[in-house]
Structure 1
Amino acid sequence: MSVRPYALLGAAVLAAVRAQCESAVATWCRDWGVDASAFVVTCHRAWEQSAAPAWRGSLQSGAESMWLGWDNELRGSLQRLLFPPDRQVGPHTGAATLAAAAASAALDALAAVLGRALLDNEVPFAGDAADVPAAMRQHGSGAVLAEIRLDRHACWCLLGHDSVLRLGGARPAAAAPLAALDYPALLGDQPVRLAVAAGQASVGLGSLLSLAPGDVIRLDTLADQPLAVAGPDGAVLLRGYLGTSERQLALDIVAGDQSSGVKHDL
């Protein structure tokens, strides 16, 4: 049997992760000399977002993990943020190779500062396009998806449950072992319908149609053999002989019967 954590994150946990993301973005903006108000940070439970961002790679630190992704136009938005057009100069007709390289370096730096802030460790960014584990997007996974938006484009950060717990200031308490259950006492009052098989007979269709009161049908059960008592699933539980008790048909259980693997003492 496979098991997985099931965590329903509260608003306070989302706010703690968002605050850490905002702090990381503010640090990056200070280092690169841009206005932090250009960015909007939001956090959601990972399973609440159906869209799958373009994942670029992951960072791993022990049991903690983080995935980063961004759309193709984000680098261009960073370039325009770092190098806004000068209205006093005419349009540039050449390729802005230096500005493009700076925007790429800025994006790499943003991934690094997010890794340091959210994983609390100097972890290199592994730039691969591997898929995010499906369990992180399942309902109740405990993962958080942070969106760092610049204009119409965004950088997404999918944070695993272990990191979310650390940033939210909570650790799951060790579960106490479950007490042993007394199943006979717990289920003792539950009613169970039993079927007593008196026997079977094979009768031709013509004979069946001509049967009349007083005719006898011989069963395949010998008179000196006990009858089988079956449970709801058809399995034979015990055996016994028909009799009467207080003017009602009853069953006298055979002592020491082993049909069900349990010895019945009278």
Structure 2
Amino acid sequence: MNVRPHALLGTSALAAVRAQCESAVATWCRDWGVDASAFTVTCQRAWEQPAAPAWRGSLQSGAETMWLGWDNELRGALQRLLFPPDRQVGPHAGVAAMAAAGASAALDALAAVLGRALLDNEVPFAGDAADVSPALRQQASGAVLVEIRLERHACRCLLDYASVQRLAGSAAATAAPLAAVDLRDLLGGQPVRLAVTAGSANVGLGSLLSLAPGDVIRLDTLADEPLAVTGPDGATLLRGYLGTCQQQLALDIVAGDQSSGVAA
């Protein structure tokens, strides 16, 4: 049986994760001498994000995983922040290349700071393509998406539920397991429409158009073969023979038939 977390995550859990991320960004800003107010940090449940961003890679620490991704233009925005253009003095040869290299180093440092703060991981971030399980974007997966915005561009972090639990602490505490439920008692009164398949036949279009009362169409079911009873999803539940009961057609279930786990 496949199971997965069902964690709705309250605002206190999101706030705890956002605070950790804001602290990491503030540390990075101090190290690189930039104004922290240029950045905004938002935190939301991963399933509330309509589009999946392109991920650059992932970091792991034990059972926890964090994915990182950013816009292609984010590096240029960082370069403008770190090395604002001087309109009075044009750039000397090689200065633009040095600024671009500095922005790349700053972006790598930001990824490393986020890895240490959010995942407690000292492994340098490697920019390899990363696949994210679709289950993390399902309702109540427990995953959290953090966005660090600079101008119109963003660096994004996707944290799995194990990471969120550690960062949020008691704010992400899970509820007690639900008591066992007797599904037979719970669903026993629900009506289910069943279909009895008598058989099928292949008829040419010309023959179909020329059919008249009294003609006979032979089905692909033998007369002594039990008919299939199918559920709403089309799966065969039982088999039986046609008969009558109180002047209506009825089905005499074949004893011991368990086509789909339903005891007859």
Determine the C-alpha separation between the residues in 1 that align with 2:26 and 2:64.
23
> CA offset at residue 168 of structure 1?
1.1
Determine the C-alpha separation between the residues in 2 that align with 1:15 and 1:234.
53
Determine the C-alpha separation between the residues in 2 that align with 1:43 and 1:188.
43
Give the aligned partner of residue 116 of structure 1: 116
> CA offset at residue 176 of structure 1?
7.7
- Contiguous gaps of at least 5 residues in structure 1: 192-205, 207-232, 237-258, 262-266
How well do the aligned residues superpose, as a CA RMSD in angstroms?
A: 3.3
> CA offset at residue 44 of structure 1?
1.0
Determine the C-alpha separation between the residues in 1 that align with 2:120 and 2:175.
22
Shift of the 235–163 alpha-carbon distance from structure 1 to 2, 3 Å rule, reads same
Determine the C-alpha separation between the residues in 1 that align with 2:89 and 2:123.
43
Determine the C-alpha separation between the residues in 1 that align with 2:142 and 2:189.
40
Give the aligned partner of residue 46 of structure 1: 46
> CA offset at residue 123 of structure 1?
3.0
Q: TM-score, normalised on structure 1? A: 0.66
Shift of the 173–114 alpha-carbon distance from structure 1 to 2, 3 Å rule, reads same
Kept in 1, the 8 Å contact 2:13–2:168? The answer is: yes
Give the aligned partner of residue 136 of structure 1: 136
> CA offset at residue 124 of structure 1?
2.8
> CA offset at residue 165 of structure 1?
1.0
Kept in 1, the 8 Å contact 2:60–2:121? The answer is: no
> CA offset at residue 153 of structure 1?
0.8
Determine the C-alpha separation between the residues in 2 that align with 1:143 and 1:82.
32
> CA offset at residue 155 of structure 1?
0.3
Determine the C-alpha separation between the residues in 1 that align with 2:128 and 2:183.
53
Give the aligned partner of residue 90 of structure 1: 89
Q: Which structure 2 residues correspond to residues 207-222 of structure 1 after superposition, within 5 A?
A: none
Range that drifts further, 42-51 or 115-124: 115-124
Kept in 2, the 8 Å contact 1:146–1:156? The answer is: yes
Kept in 1, the 8 Å contact 2:148–2:156? The answer is: yes
> CA offset at residue 84 of structure 1?
1.2
> CA offset at residue 31 of structure 1?
0.5
- Contiguous gaps of at least 5 residues in structure 2: 192-213, 215-236, 241-254, 258-264
Determine the C-alpha separation between the residues in 2 that align with 1:187 and 1:41.
46
Determine the C-alpha separation between the residues in 1 that align with 2:175 and 2:79.
46
Determine the C-alpha separation between the residues in 1 that align with 2:6 and 2:56.
27
Q: Which structure 2 residues correspond to residues 140-179 of structure 1 after superposition, within 5 A?
A: 140-169=140-169, 170-172=172-174, 175=177, 178=180
Determine the C-alpha separation between the residues in 2 that align with 1:168 and 1:71.
27
Q: TM-score, normalised on structure 2? A: 0.66
Q: Quick check: which has more Rg, 1 or 2?
A: 1
Kept in 1, the 8 Å contact 2:59–2:121? The answer is: no
Kept in 1, the 8 Å contact 2:7–2:174? The answer is: no
Kept in 2, the 8 Å contact 1:144–1:159? The answer is: yes
For 1:140, give the aligned amino acid.
A
